[in-house]
Amino acid sequence: MRINPMQDFNDTIFALSSGSLPAGLGVVRISGSVALAVTRVLAGSLPEPRQAALKTIRTRNGLVIDRGLVLIFPGPASFTGEDSAEIHVHGGKAVVATLLEELAGFKGCRLAEHGEFSRRALENGKMDLVEVEGLADLIAAETEMQRRLAVEHTAGGLSKLYEDWADRLTRARALIEAELDFADEDDVPGSVSDLVWADMAELQSELSGHLAGADFGEIIRDGLKVVIAGPPNAGKSSLMNALARREVAIVTEIAGTTRDVLHIDLDIEGYAARLYDTAGLRDTEEVIEREGIKRALKTAAEADIILSLAEIGTAAQTDFPGFGGKVFRIGTKSDIHPADANNYDLCISSDTGVGLAELHQLLVNDLQTRSAAFSLALPSRLRHRMLLMESLDALTQAVSSVSAGLDIRAEFLRRAAHSLGRITGRVDVEDLLDVIFSEFCIGK
Ligand X SMILES: Nc1nc2c(ncn2[C@@H]2O[C@H](COP(=O)(O)OP(=O)(O)OP(=O)(O)O)[C@@H](O)[C@H]2O)c(=O)[nH]1
Please give the Cα distance from 273 to 96 (Å, whole number). Answer: 37
Q: How many CA atoms lie within 13 A of 356 on its CB side?
A: 16
Query: In the range 251-270, which residues lie near K ion by CB under 5 A?
Result: 257
At 363, phi and psi to the nearest 5? -70, -40
Judged by CB under 6 A, the residue of 32, 223, 235, 379 near ligand X is 235
Give yes or no for a contact between 55 and 43, defined as CB atoms under 8 angstroms apart. Answer: yes
Query: Among 237, 317, 380, 391, which residue sits at the site for ligand X (rule: CB under 6 A)?
Result: 237
Q: Which is nearer to K ion, 230 or 421 (CB)?
A: 230
Report the DSSP pairing between strands 271-277 and 262-268. Answer: antiparallel
Out of 12, 118, 159, 258, name the contact with Mg ion by CB under 5 A.
258
Select the residue interacting with ligand X from 78, 204, 233, 308 (CB under 6 A). 233
Residue of the chain from 236, 370, 381, 422 that contacts ligand X (CB under 6 A): 236
What whole-number distance in Å separates Cα of residue 57 and Cα of residue 87? 9
Separation in Å, CA 378 to CA 143, 267, 305, 311: 17, 20, 21, 39
Binds 88: which of K ion, ligand X, Mg ion, none (CB < 5-8 Å by kind): none
* Nearest residue (beta carbon) to ligand X: 280
Q: Which one of 18, 237, 308, 332 is in contact with Mg ion (CB under 5 A)?
A: 237
**Taking CB under 6 A as the rule, does residue 256 contact ligand X?**
yes
Find out whether 257 is annotated in a ligand binding site.
Answer: yes
C-alpha distance from residue 342 to each of 90, 144, 329, 437 (Å): 63, 36, 10, 53
Which of 350, 380, 419, 424 is close enough to bind ligand X by CB under 6 A? 350
Length of the chain: 444
Three-state DSSP state, 58:
strand
SS3 320: coil
* 39 binds, options Mg ion, K ion, ligand X, none, Cβ within 5 to 8 A by partner type: none
Query: Taking a C-beta distance cutoff of 8 angstroms, is the pair 326, 366 a contact?
Result: yes
| Contacts of 90 by beta carbon, 8 Å cutoff, 6+ apart | 24, 25, 26, 66, 68
Annotated binding-site residue? 333: no
Is 415 assigned a ligand-binding role in the annotation? no
Binding mask 351-390 for ligand X (x = CB under 6 A): x---------------------------------------
The piece of 102-110, 163-171, 227-235, 406-414 that touches K ion (CB under 5 A) is: 227-235
What residues make contact with K ion under the rule CB under 5 A?
233, 257
Interface with Mg ion by CB under 5 A: which residues?
236-237, 257-258
> Binding site, residues?
29, 86, 126, 233-238, 252-258, 277-280, 444
The residues that touch ligand X, with contacts defined as CB under 6 A, are 232-238, 251-253, 255-258, 279-280, 332-333, 335-336, 349-351
